[in-house]
Amino acid sequence: MAAFWLLGGVLLLVALVLLFLWHPRIGELFHKHVQDRPKRRLFLAAVGFFCTLAFARGAAYAAGRGIPPFHYVYIHGIHVHHLVWGILLLLVVGFGWLIEIGTGTRGSSLFASRLMSLLYGIAVALTLDEFALWLNLEDRVYWTREGRASLDALLLFGAALLIGIWGKDFLKALPRELFRPTRRGREEQKL
């Protein structure tokens, strides 16, 4: 059940971000303030990373405390951690980039580029959130002192994303665009 919530949350995140950027004014604003394609990809990966990290941490906390509807996923008696889904998603994104889906090469789709960037950030968050399990293959590590390695890995990767983004101008311009009065509203204000 928790896997379904996680999958649903990830799909909702991807759909919302892609729909948001599909809006002509928002897409134009995004391209205006983040002009370099690699930086746009970094920005979208960061959005996927940080949103998924928040959701995964919350879901893991709720599952550990027995808060419905979240619980751990077991397949044939084996606890399947969310890093497994992250690794599988990293394999899919990596393969997609190998065959040049969404890489920005000529003929590559803008939608595919955005989707692959978001999925990459999501996959990294799911994988690094349980980094401590890479080193100590025990379930109980997640919320212990040894689990600190996961937080360190997440902070380092998140910092790398943030350093590479340069999306500051876009983020500053976005509220002005979203909350600016419409043309009709400006005319009424003049009266």
Give me the tens of pLDDT residue by residue for the chain, a chain 191 residues long: 455 667 777 788 889 999 989 989 998 998 888 878 888 888 899 889 888 988 888 888 888 888 888 888 888 888 788 888 899 999 999 999 888 888 877 777 888 989 999 999 999 999 988 877 776 656 565 666 666 666 777 777 777 677 666 566 676 787 888 887 765 555 555 55
- Statement: the pTM of the whole predicted model exceeds 0.85: no
User: Could you tell me how many residues make up the chain?
Assistant: 191
Distance CA 58, CA 52 (A): 10
pLDDT at 117 (0 to 100): 92
Distance CA 89, CA 116 (A): 10
Q: What is the dihedral of CA 32, 34, 38, 40, to 10 degrees?
A: -100
pLDDT at 1 (0 to 100): 46
Strand pairing report for 73-75 and 78-80: antiparallel
Contacts of 63 (CB under 8 A, 6+ apart): 2, 70, 71, 72
Residue holding tokens 């397949």? 75
- The phi and psi torsions of 189 (rounded to 5 degrees) equal -65, -30
pLDDT at 102 (0 to 100): 81
pLDDT at 86 (0 to 100): 92
